[in-house]
A and B are shown apart, each in its own frame.
Chain A
């Protein structure tokens, strides 16, 4: 089939044309949006932070609801990830929200491997998506996207800077996921301490080369707000689901003897900023970054690992078919080689054993020959001896005969004189 040899005549320049009236394709974005809304959206948040730092509370506060979450103990032997999915709806927008908590993070004595389960989980979601993407019959548009879109890293408000566990973990995760660091339980930090802490944290992140998520500033509609928010990172947050009476309103707050920390008061904490950035302004960008940047990086590494290349040795680019066919050929050749090897090994084994057995046979044969020779020798000996005996016997017989003949004669002679005597006497 000459699919690539189509006689296509293409006008090279892309012309800009003026429209003579209202055509109507300006509804395209609306068409796209209504389709997306009908399909529903997915959003996956990963919360990384020590036990008890306020992750669940913050999630509840962010989404104005109570997600079920058992309190974790400090005695987990290793970090575990617990994902939970919820169907939320607001106006006509359906959101499938998955919240993943790290249970037991920072509790072990040796935290060297703490980041690993997190990394593995993120990779596993990428792998799941990649697997679906590579299938022959696939259903990408139906697939539930479980890839992590945002990682909220909770920094403890104690101390004056980041802990080494924080740095290590964020460094390992920054090329895999969008990270937004937040200072948790910010109501324990005073304003001046907070400013110092923020500066210290940011400079440490920069000096350690940790790439955190930057709110995008290319889109004019949101450039301004995003740029200003970028300067407030990391957000100092406070979470609360309890309503407290302040003035004549009921607000979410934490009640202390010395006052109440109002969650949605921008003077008290950056909660509102976080919610604004995360949910109201940049949610789509987070999803896009995950897909276009982090996922692509993972995919690229994975494919290269599997031996896929875009260009051949003579830098001619491969088509998909060529790539797969090449791989398949390689694979078949490999299988055949293995088969050959096995057969060869067998042939060798057979030859060896045959040789061994033949040697044994020869040995036996030789022994047999040797015994035969011995036997022959013995027989010869025996024959010799027999002959000797025969000879002796013959010689003896001859003597005997001779002696008897002599004796016979002698007797005759002897008997004659005796006879004479006898006669004389007579």
Chain B
């Protein structure tokens, strides 16, 4: 069931050892270290008041978790659903277990039970969040694991099937925590009634696609046979008792009735032993592993995806979930840089074009200007030339005329001189 990891290392070869090397001792080392560390387990019990939750806990752990000094939550009247946790340290065979029992008094007791599962969900999420924060710190020290490893859900022994509240609760919690449904106070059902009841419950669970905790298959066929047997008995019908009674010389836990004693640990009377074996003796570690590898990872990836992708289009998140949020940001940064480069190039292009246009216009203006200037110059020059010509003609005329005048003047002078002469001469007459 646990897949062999793929490796990037090129050569993996099977090697046969020719003698005793010694690493077969490794499991023992692991054993010793785990005993030294101690173990933690958080068990949550959910169900209406009076279904025998506290009694079952006491029976399971053979101790007075709930006693006169520390009364169970049923003894108290609650107006709203609350979540109560009790931590106890128990030791057995050198093994220390820190057991946290989380109770939910008031669950299902109100008239209107809408959302009575919300405090439970909130509690589970807050423990996951605590662990996430502790795991994500820069300085990590010890990370106490207070996550809920298992939730026992108590079903009232009506004999008819699940109540809407049962279905609603399990549907909302099956992907947050390992849910194990139990039939409480099973000593009110005859074996046949119990069988029918179980069948009905399992049918409804399948109909509503509720994922209850599944026992993993092992490689060992013997174990698998046992597991299959347990699976057929689901949901387990349990009876609990705080009282030890003597039956046939033996001291047993049981419930004394006028008609007999319902023994808690008698496999024919109820499935209590199956529950205890499964919960404590064989699958406690697996419950923790499934919580850690599955439910917690689910919570974590949802949380981190929300942080990374807030405000971003979530339709393209498929590939992004394989990265860390930081790698995610790096990629976004790179995308952004590329986008900016493109934008920059475009703007450059537009800008260059506009500049070229303007420069061209200027050039044209200048050319036009030059041209006009040339034209005007030529015009002026032509006019100058014309004027020059006119002047020259005029000058010529003037010079000619003046020359003529001088001749005439001379003639006149000569003529008047002659006249004078003539006059002198003429006067003689």
Q: Can you name the residue of chain B whose Cβ is closest to the Cβ of A327?
A: B329
Given known contacts A8-B83, A90-B24, A134-B325, A389 and B391 CB-to-CB distance under 8 angstroms: yes
Given known contacts A32-B285, A137-B321, A93 and B387 CB-to-CB distance under 8 angstroms: no
Residues on the A chain within 8 Å of B70, using CB: 11, 15
Residues on the B chain within 8 Å of A208, using CB: none
State how many angstroms separate the Cβ of B291 from the closest Cβ of chain A: 12
Interface residues of A in 121-160 (CB under 8 A from B): 131, 134-138, 140-144, 146
State how many angstroms separate the Cβ of A72 from the closest Cβ of chain B: 17
Q: Can you name the residue of chain B whose Cβ is closest to the Cβ of A252?
A: B19
- B129 and A4 contacting across the interface, CB-CB below 8 Å: yes
State how many angstroms separate the Cβ of A317 from the closest Cβ of chain B: 8
Given known contacts A31-B282, A320-B136, A25 and B21 CB-to-CB distance under 8 angstroms: no
B200 located at the interface, meaning its Cβ lies under 8 Å from any Cβ of chain A in the complex: no
- B93 and A300 contacting across the interface, CB-CB below 8 Å: no
Q: Which of B167-175, B205-213, B336-344 contacts A (4 or more CB under 8 A)?
A: B336-344
A306 located at the interface, meaning its Cβ lies under 8 Å from any Cβ of chain B in the complex: yes
Q: Which of B92, B289, B365, B387 contacts A26 (CB 8 A)?
A: B92
B111 located at the interface, meaning its Cβ lies under 8 Å from any Cβ of chain A in the complex: no
Given known contacts A33-B31, A33-B34, A300-B139, A17 and B343 CB-to-CB distance under 8 angstroms: no
- B7 and A25 contacting across the interface, CB-CB below 8 Å: no
B333 located at the interface, meaning its Cβ lies under 8 Å from any Cβ of chain A in the complex: yes
A88 located at the interface, meaning its Cβ lies under 8 Å from any Cβ of chain B in the complex: yes
Q: Which of A11, A146, A368, A393 contacts B9 (CB 8 A)?
A: A146
B406-421 Cβ-contact flags toward A at 8 Å (1 or 0): 0010001001000100
Q: Which of B34, B82, B320 is most buried by chain A, counting CB atoms within 10 A of its CB? A: B34
- B89 and A339 contacting across the interface, CB-CB below 8 Å: no
- B30 and A279 contacting across the interface, CB-CB below 8 Å: no
Residues on the A chain within 8 Å of B427, using CB: none
Residues on the A chain within 8 Å of B137, using CB: 310
Q: Which of A306, A308, A360, A371 contacts B362 (CB 8 A)?
A: A360
State how many angstroms separate the Cβ of B162 from the closest Cβ of chain A: 26
Q: Can you name the residue of chain A whose Cβ is closest to the Cβ of B341?
A: A342
State how many angstroms separate the Cβ of B299 from the closest Cβ of chain A: 11
State how many angstroms separate the Cβ of A56 from the closest Cβ of chain B: 14
- B11 and A85 contacting across the interface, CB-CB below 8 Å: yes
- B369 and A368 contacting across the interface, CB-CB below 8 Å: yes
A196 located at the interface, meaning its Cβ lies under 8 Å from any Cβ of chain B in the complex: no
Q: How far is the CA of A15 from the CA of B85 in the complex (A)?
A: 12
Given known contacts A23-B61, A320-B132, A338 and B119 CB-to-CB distance under 8 angstroms: no
Q: Which of A38-46, A103-111, A183-191, A226-234 contacts B (4 or more CB under 8 A)?
A: A38-46
State how many angstroms separate the Cβ of A298 from the closest Cβ of chain B: 12
Q: How far is the CA of A222 from the CA of B120 in the complex (A)?
A: 45
Say which size band chain B's interface belongs to: 35 or more
Residues on the A chain within 8 Å of B328, using CB: 136
Residues on the B chain within 8 Å of A364, using CB: 362, 365-366, 369
Q: How far is the CA of A223 from the CA of B91 in the complex (A)?
A: 24
B403 located at the interface, meaning its Cβ lies under 8 Å from any Cβ of chain A in the complex: no
Q: How far is the CA of A131 from the CA of B325 in the complex (A)?
A: 10
Q: How far is the CA of A283 from the CA of B23 in the complex (A)?
A: 8
B308 located at the interface, meaning its Cβ lies under 8 Å from any Cβ of chain A in the complex: yes
B310 located at the interface, meaning its Cβ lies under 8 Å from any Cβ of chain A in the complex: yes
Given known contacts A15-B88, A65-B16, A98-B9, A88 and B39 CB-to-CB distance under 8 angstroms: no
Q: Which of B3, B36, B86, B123 contacts A142 (CB 8 A)?
A: B3
Residues on the A chain within 8 Å of B3, using CB: 142
Residues on the A chain within 8 Å of B11, using CB: 84-85
Residues on the A chain within 8 Å of B369, using CB: 364, 367-368, 371
State how many angstroms separate the Cβ of B325 from the closest Cβ of chain A: 5
Top 3 A-B pairs, shortest CB-CB distance:
A26-B93, A134-B324, A284-B29
Chain B positions within 8 Å of A, measured between CB atoms, are: 2-27, 29-36, 39, 41, 60-65, 70, 80, 82-95, 97-98, 119, 122-123, 125-126, 129, 132-133, 136-140, 218-219, 276-277, 280-286, 289, 292-293, 297, 300-301, 303-305, 307-308, 310, 320-329, 332-333, 336, 340, 343-344, 347, 351, 355, 358-359, 362, 365-366, 369, 373, 376-377, 380, 383-384, 387, 390-391, 394, 397-398, 401, 405, 408, 412, 415, 419, 422, 426, 429
Chain A positions within 8 Å of B, measured between CB atoms, are: 1-11, 14-33, 35-41, 43, 62-65, 67-68, 83-93, 95-96, 98, 131, 134-138, 140-144, 146, 219, 221-222, 275-276, 279-285, 288, 296, 299-300, 303-304, 306, 308-310, 319-321, 323-325, 327-328, 331, 335, 338-339, 342, 346, 349-350, 353, 357, 360-361, 364, 367-368, 371, 375, 378-379, 382, 385-386, 389, 392-393, 396, 400, 403, 407, 410, 414, 417, 421, 424
Known: A3-B122, A310-B139, A368-B369. 16 other contacts (CB 8 A): A11-B84, A17-B61, A17-B64, A25-B92, A25-B97, A29-B95, A31-B282, A85-B7, A87-B12, A98-B9, A279-B22, A281-B25, A320-B133, A335-B332, A410-B412, A414-B412
Cβ contacts A to B, 8 pairs, < 8 Å: A3-B129, A14-B87, A31-B285, A38-B218, A137-B301, A284-B30, A407-B412, A414-B419
